[in-house]
Amino acid sequence: MTLIKSISGIRGTIGGTVGENLTPIDAVKFASAYGTWLKQQRNKTDYKVVVGRDARLSGDMIQNLVMNTLVGLGIHVIDLNLSTTPTVEIAVPMEHADGGIILTASHNPKQWNALKLLNAKGEFLDGAEGQKILEIAESDNMTFAEVDDLGKITKNDAYIDIHIDEVLELEYVNQKAIEAANFKVVVDGVNSTGGIAIPLLLERLGVEAVKLYCDPTGHFPHNPEPLKEHLGDLSNEVKKHNADFGIVVDPDVDRLAFMDENGEMFGEEYTLVACADWVLSQNPGNTVSNMSSTRALRDVTEKHGGTYEASAVGEVNVVTLMKKNNAVIGGEGNGGIIYPDSHYGRDALVGVALFLSLLAERQLSVSALRKTYTSYFMSKKKIQLTPSLDVDAILKAMEDNYSNENLTTIDGVKIDFAESWAHLRKSNTEPIIRIYTEAKSQTEADSLADKIIAEIKQIANI
């Protein structure tokens, strides 16, 4: 059980000891620090924060603690209750709010929860802002409102519908072509809020949705990370219903993966590749993903005459580089689509609509579409950290070992070989070192990852 405090928020397991887990006291303390920081940004009389959550079991408890802490600071709250991360992101500017909080631990199992923090644009805080909130939390330098100045909570259940309206109005979402295609799709909502939002979107697009685990109880029926090894039931349902494809999202609906008509994974790395292929075919331009993402995005970008660049891992880093490069689409290889025409945040609803538009236009099966892209194979492994491990020293030693190769060190160590790459970095969300590799075959990718892990273990004597 653990508590992870980082510039991107606070994440931990429910229950246990204060300061070591995400206890009520830790939730209140961090929400207080965020509210205090928020009030330091603007000198005004009324402050407003949008709050929403995924369906995990602890969500109601944590949300009430967070909202009432903000009320105690004199901040008004717009309560979206069960929602999605991208829905909260679009709600913040629509409500002219000062910020937003999403209660979700993304793909982590049910015992985890987290506070994800947004600025007034509905975008994640940058490193300096996150660091300031951590400092406020540690200082306990927080002043609460007097009784006549307490905030108020206003419920608003309309924002998933508003979000869908916004998606349908996007220029390159071809609703008529999608309706004419008569798609049938199986949706695995992992018993969280994707089970609400994705079927509603599909219904509006004229797509027949077969629901699988779409009851938002928070009892995740499988590991909620949308990876092949967790999705046997989705594969069976796609084949059983003779569906055109399957959709799976994570609990807060900012990650998106597809399954083809044969019950095989399209590849979550290729979610962004396909959506970018569609957008770039309509509006050629630049793209950005993080450096742990597939080279296939670079290939499809260059095919359409654009320029691709890689950022450090982390949504805020991708967004910063997208703005700098005027990217028309970007995101993360874990199935996160960031489409600026909508908003600067990973959004599975936008991804679904763009993917359906591509399929309707090309009139291809999902398996045939996949064959139109260069095949790269990725291995994603990890090493569990212990307090005694000096991660920085390990990464520096690996950097020295590969000093003759093409290295990037803005985020851990990335080693680019001619036909493959390896990226080693400390996770921001779990106590692990991630080792991602990519090559022209799965065997080569796995072998490269195993080689890197063996070298790390030798350096660390583990």
Report the distance separating Cα 53 and Cα 102, nearest Å: 5
139 is catalytic: no
Report the distance separating Cα 434 and Cα 449, nearest Å: 10
The DSSP H or E segment spanning 87 is helix 85-94
DSSP string, 123-167: -B--HHHHHHHHHHHHHT---PPPGGG---EEE---HHHHHHHHH
Alpha helices in 159-268 (DSSP H): 159-168, 175-181, 194-204, 232-240
Q: CA dist 323 to 186, 275, 286, 330, Å?
A: 35, 19, 10, 10
Cβ–Cβ < 8 Å for 38, 49: yes
The DSSP H or E segment spanning 327 is strand 327-332
First to last CA, the chain: 22
Q: How many CA atoms lie within 13 A of 163 on its CB side?
A: 31
Report the distance separating Cα 361 and Cα 371, nearest Å: 16
- Residue 219's Cβ-count burial label (10 Å; 0-12, 13-18, 19+) is middle
Token code pair at residue 120: 């007034």
> What letter does residue 301 receive in the DSSP assignment?
H
Q: Return the C-alpha torsion angle 419, 255, 34, 340, nearest 10.
A: 80
Closest C-alpha among 272, 241, 242, 240 to residue 258 = 272
Report the distance separating Cα 294 and Cα 161, nearest Å: 33
Q: Which residue has the tokens 């770039």?
A: 280
Rounded to the nearest 5 percent, the helix, strand and coil shares of the chain are 40, 25, 35
Report the distance separating Cα 213 and Cα 441, nearest Å: 33
Give the active site residue among 106, 192, 235, 293: 106
Closest C-alpha among 430, 382, 438 to residue 414 = 438
Which positions are annotated as active-site residues? Answer: 106
